[in-house]
Amino acid sequence: MDEKQLVAKAQKGDFDAFLLLVNDHKSKVYNLALKMTGSVQDAEDIVQDTLVKAIDKIDQFRGESAFGTWLYSIALNQTRALLANYKKADLKPIEEYLPSINSIDTEHNSIRLFDWRDPHKLLEQNELKDIIDDAIEALPLIYKEAFILRYYEELSIKKVADLIGESVASAKSRVLRARVALRDHLSKVFEDNYGRTMQ
Amino acid sequence: MAGQCSDYINNLNDYLDGEISPELCKELEKHIGQCNNCRIMVDSLKQTVSLCREGKKENLPKALENKLTNILKEKWNKKFPKQ
Ligand SMILES: [Zn+2]
């Protein structure tokens, strides 16, 4: 049975059809929420609230997007609501990143960026995982969601833009800034952790 | 775009995601080949995404799975009461 038929059945009250519809997406919503909040408890709440909301609004689903995308946008709203009181800090404009790169232009390569080489060979797996979780955690919400949707969920920029309710240009800029900010954060930690022993 | 490292930064993401014009791509790659800092920058931006992706996907906790079925069933029966 295809998605359209399942939706039609669910909208007429068929619970099993609804379960089939959400089945493939449940763990995706869970992983999205887990990455966004960093908390198992919050992620569980978000999954539950999202599915309950989906039942509430099932009649409003018109099939303009895929069912999974629709469910995602509900999940994203739930996550945003939950995180609404957390930090709202903005990231610096992209030009203000990489002070090292900016000074290279004027100082003719007198500054050298830290070369990461292969962090796997230089850090324990668990250590590395914690460092990365912390780096993602530190991103302001609007950048975090753009980055996660683009690189974890592997959605196109157009889809990311639709989901977060922004233009493609703005989605692109958020993804770039998130990636560069993460890079800078990780670079600092790596340099502190193994930079000095590698001279 | 004439050769200053900071001029390239805005295009780096499109470059890494394979979404820039062939001309710009060529120019960027030429610069990266000659500039160690930009090589490090591109390499570390690539690693940023691959490292982040490594964390394995978590499965829905079993306890949640069981709890969910009951909660959803109850919610469903309220919305679609059986005659
Ligand atoms: Zn350069």
Residue B49 Cα to ligand 1 middle (Å): 21
Using alpha carbons, select from A26, A151, A188 the residue that is nearest to residue B55.
Answer: A151
Instruction: For residue B51, give the CATH number of its domain.
Output: 1.10.10
Nearest CA-CA distance, residue B79 and chain A, Å: 8
Confidence tier at A89 by pLDDT (50, 70, 90): low
Report pLDDT for A174.
92
- Mean of per-residue pLDDT scores for chain A: 88
Question: Which of A141, A131, A153, A152 is CA-nearest to residue A177?
Answer: A141
User: Which ranges of chain A does DSSP label H, i.e. alpha helix?
Assistant: 3-11, 15-37, 40-56, 67-83, 99-107, 119-122, 125-137, 141-147, 157-164, 168-190
Q: How many CB atoms lie within 10 A of CB A175?
A: 22
Q: How far apart are the first and last CA of chain B?
A: 71
Task: Pick A104's closest partner by Cβ from B37, B43, B58.
Answer: B37
Which among B36, B53, B55 has the least Cβ separation from residue A129? Answer: B55
- pLDDT of residue A165 exceeding 90, the answer is yes
Mean pLDDT of chain B: 87
Alpha carbon dihedral A152, A154, A158, A164, in 10-degree steps, equals -20
Examine the pLDDT at B6 and tell me if it is beyond 80.
Answer: no
CB contact under 8 A, B58 and A187: no
Task: Report the percentage of chain A scoring pLDDT > 70.
Answer: 86
Q: What's phi and psi for A132, nearest 5 deg?
A: -70, -40
Q: Which CATH architecture has domain A94-194?
A: Orthogonal Bundle (1.10)
pLDDT 10s digits, B45-81: 999 999 999 877 888 999 999 999 999 999 999 999 9
Chain B residues touching residue A108 (CB < 8 angstroms):
none
Domain A3-86 falls in which CATH fold? Rna Polymerase Sigma Factor; Chain: A (1.10.1740)
Asked whether the beta carbons of residue B58 and residue A31 sit closer than 8 angstroms, the reply is yes
Contact list, B67 vs chain A (CB under 8 Å)? 48
Domain count, chain B: 1
Q: How far apart are CA A181 and CA A91, in angstroms?
A: 8
Residues of B in contact with A179 (CB under 8 A): 13, 45, 48-49
Judge whether B50 is closer than 8 Å to chain A, CB to CB.
no
- Interface contact B71, partner A, CB < 8 A: yes
Average pLDDT over residues A147-175: 93
Q: What is the ipTM of this complex?
A: 0.85
Are A113 and B37 an interchain contact pair (Cβ–Cβ within 8 Å)? Answer: yes
CB-CB contact of B9 with A148 (8 Å): no
pTM as predicted: 0.85
Q: Spell out which residues of chain B touch residue A15, defining contact as CB-CB under 8 Å.
A: 72-73, 76, 80
pLDDT bracket for residue A20 (50, 70, 90):
very high
The string of pLDDT tens digits covering residues A30-82 is 999 999 998 999 999 999 999 999 999 999 999 988 999 999 999 999 999 88
pLDDT more than 70, % of chain B: 94
**Mean per-residue pLDDT for A5-31?**
95
Q: Which pLDDT belongs to residue B73?
A: 96
Give the domain extent around B21.
5-79
Break chain A into its structural domains and give their ranges: 3-86, 94-194
Angle at Cα A84 formed by Cα A91 and Cα A52, nearest 5°? 130
Average confidence (pLDDT) over A113-125: 92
